[in-house]
């Protein structure tokens, strides 16, 4: 029977990333650290230091911590998160397959949730 | 089964936040209860285990019955999904989890199934991680809890792994839902520990390239766990692509769970197993002999649009936007009541194994998204 408590529990993803949410960033580190991003290995980098710091200051839980990379991406057509401080050249390189990814239709799932006031779509 | 008090840890919120639990309060109202708990006996834990295993077995027989007799109209399942659902059942497309909600009648010592959250159950992180950490914070190491959710998740992913399509199992939920994202990330964590390569993608970022679902990099999605209701997906713009997808993407939970997550399964169970001790009488039409009953939409979430009738008089109703697909009528259950409120027991089935419980408590006898999560221990 499995009605006994787990003897040990290890989290590899959540504790390592999520538990760091809300940790204050040392001012000295803020001053030194610069962050550059690109969405494609063939695309040029753009500096996003300011955006990265803003995400960390919010302490908004795992959404901002885990998905901060996604938050800067231009998906097009208003999909995904986007940030105009990231130069569009940094999200589109010369990789044809990845370029095709931007041509795909997106947003075909999720509309029901978008029109709901609920904070969870589970049960 | 009774409520017991604790001297609250003044740092309880920061303790929970430190383990990645960010929604313990809702507008200053506690969702997580830290300073009292349910103490259950070993015998009560056994009873819950056996009821969960038995009802799960009955549910699988009920799915077989619905498919064999093509009763899809009772569930308002769209026609384009029927063959797809039948194939997912015949192929034994794997399921990872589900949560039964039981009423516990303390006088008769009987558990009665209220409903089965078979498709998108949440509160898994609270049950498997937060509740376990709470026990270890307040009690000795030898104190027990009906909770092997974590190890059962890892074991179940290991069993499922050989049957997954492709190299990557995607995990998905809607944007800006911290509760759903926490549950999804917890599941992903356990899948990683089972040796599965994973990737996160929001449900609205999934792409369609004309013949397959793709991720943000244009890679095909061939296996995906989604914390997003099937009944919504099939009616959305990409709903028809599910059956046209050349990869026949493996969705977890599988599409046959649409039958079990629909409250139309409750009258079907009652028809197949009348007067079973763990079932409440349930019907598709109002019954003259039912005086005290609940009217539930076949598709609704978080206790929305529930009407409670006592002596055939409507005495309580919850708001919501559901009900257009129809209703079922279920005998009113006797809920366990303490000074702190009415409670129900959520009992998890992971893989094929009952492995964890949680208590949800409400001031009113209907459990909603505002209901409090109360941890438990098993009495020595």
Collect all residues of chain A within an 8 Å Cβ-Cβ radius of residue B302.
118, 120, 123
For residue B180, give Cα distances in angstroms to A119, A121, B32, B112, B334: 8, 7, 16, 27, 30
C-beta atoms of B238 and A12 within 8 A: no
A112 in a structural domain: no
CA B346 remoteness from chain centre: 8
- Please give the interface size between A and B, counted as residue pairs whose CB atoms are below 8 Å apart: 210
| Whether the predicted interface score ipTM is above 0.85 | yes
List B residues 169-228 in contact with A (Cβ-Cβ < 8 A): 173-183, 185-186, 188-189, 192-193, 200, 202-209, 214-218, 227-228
A57 in a structural domain: yes
C-beta atoms of A3 and B17 within 8 A: no
Q: Best interface-test mutation with B: which of A8, A13, A103 has the largest number of B CBs within 10 A?
A: A13
**Which residues span the domain enclosing A58?**
23-101
Q: Best interface-test mutation with A: which of B124, B203, B215 has the largest number of A CBs within 10 A?
A: B203
Residue pLDDT tens, chain B, 380 long: 999 999 999 999 999 999 989 899 988 888 999 999 999 999 999 999 999 999 999 999 999 999 999 999 999 999 999 999 999 999 999 999 999 999 999 889 999 999 999 999 999 999 999 999 999 999 998 999 999 999 999 999 999 999 999 999 999 999 988 999 999 999 999 999 999 999 999 999 999 999 999 999 999 999 999 999 999 999 999 999 999 999 999 999 999 999 999 999 999 999 999 999 999 999 999 999 999 999 999 998 777 889 999 999 999 888 888 888 899 999 999 999 999 999 999 999 999 999 999 999 998 877 777 889 999 999 97
A33 in a structural domain: yes
Looking at the DSSP assignment, which residues form a beta bridge with residue B349?
B98, B354
A4 in a structural domain: no
Number of independent structural domains in chain A: 1
C-beta atoms of A62 and B178 within 8 A: yes
DSSP category for residue B32: B
A77 in a structural domain: yes
B25: left (phi over 0), alpha (psi -120 to 50) or beta: beta
Tokens 């003259």 sit on residue:
B288
Collect all residues of chain A within an 8 Å Cβ-Cβ radius of residue B346.
none
Do B227 and B184 form a contact (C-beta atoms < 8 A)? yes
Query: Cα-atom radius of gyration of chain B, to the nearest Å?
Result: 20
Collect all residues of chain B within an 8 Å Cβ-Cβ radius of residue A107.
204, 237
C-beta atoms of B206 and A119 within 8 A: no
């Amino acid at each position: 029977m499995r009605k006994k408590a787990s003897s040990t529990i290890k989290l590899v993803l959540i504790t390592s990333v999520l538990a760091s949410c809300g940790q204050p960033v040392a001012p000295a580190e803020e001053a030194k650290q610069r962050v550059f991003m690109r969405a494609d290995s063939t695309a040029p980098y753009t500096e996003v230091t300011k955006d990265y710091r803003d995400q960390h200051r919010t302490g908004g839980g795992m959404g901002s911590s885990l998905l901060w990379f996604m938050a800067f991406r231009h998906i097009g057509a208003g999909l995904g998160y986007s940030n105009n401080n990231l130069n569009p050249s940094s999200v589109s390189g010369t990789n044809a397959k990845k370029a095709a990814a931007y041509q795909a239709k997106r947003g075909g799932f999720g509309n029901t949730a978008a029109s709901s006031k609920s904070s969870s779509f589970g049960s | 089964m009774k409520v017991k008090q604790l001297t609250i840890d003044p740092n309880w919120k920061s303790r929970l936040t430190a383990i990645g639990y960010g929604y313990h309060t809702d507008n200053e109202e506690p969702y997580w209860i830290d300073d009292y708990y349910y103490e259950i006996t070993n015998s009560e834990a056994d009873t819950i285990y056996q009821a969960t295993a038995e009802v799960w077995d009955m549910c699988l027989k009920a799915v077989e019955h619905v498919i064999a007799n093509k009763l899809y109209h009772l569930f308002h399942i769209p026609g384009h999904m029927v063959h797809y659902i039948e194939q997912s059942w015949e192929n034994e497309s794997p399921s990872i989890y589900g949560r039964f909600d039981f009423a516990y009648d303390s006088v008769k010592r009987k558990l009665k199934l209220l409903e089965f959250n078979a498709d998108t159950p949440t509160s898994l992180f609270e049950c498997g991680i937060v509740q376990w950490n709470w026990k270890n914070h307040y009690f000795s190491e030898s104190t027990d809890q009906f909770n092997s959710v974590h190890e059962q998740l890892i074991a179940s992913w290991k069993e499922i792994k050989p049957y997954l399509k492709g190299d990557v199992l995607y995990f998905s939920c809607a944007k800006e839902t911290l509760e759903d994202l926490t549950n999804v990330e917890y599941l992903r964590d356990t899948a990683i520990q089972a040796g599965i390569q994973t990737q996160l993608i929001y449900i609205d970022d999934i792409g369609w390239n004309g013949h397959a679902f793709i991720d943000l990099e244009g890679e095909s999605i061939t296996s995906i766990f989604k914390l997003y209701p099937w009944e919504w997906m099939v009616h959305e713009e990409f709903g028809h692509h599910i059956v046209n997808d050349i990869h026949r993407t493996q969705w977890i939970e599988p599409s046959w769970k649409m039958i079990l997550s629909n409250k139309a399964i409750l009258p079907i169970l009652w028809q197949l197993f009348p007067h079973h001790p763990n079932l409440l009488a349930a019907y598709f039409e109002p019954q003259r002999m039912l005086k005290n009953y609940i009217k539930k939409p076949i598709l609704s979430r978080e206790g929305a649009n529930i009407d409670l009738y006592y002596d055939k008089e409507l005495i309580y109703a919850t708001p919501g936007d559901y009900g257009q697909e129809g209703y079922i009528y279920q005998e009113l259950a006797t809920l366990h009541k303490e000074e702190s409120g009415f409670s129900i027991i959520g009992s998890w089935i992971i893989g094929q194994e009952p492995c964890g419980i949680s208590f949800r408590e409400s001031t009113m006898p209907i459990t909603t998204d505002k209901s409090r999560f109360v941890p438990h221990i098993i009495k020595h």
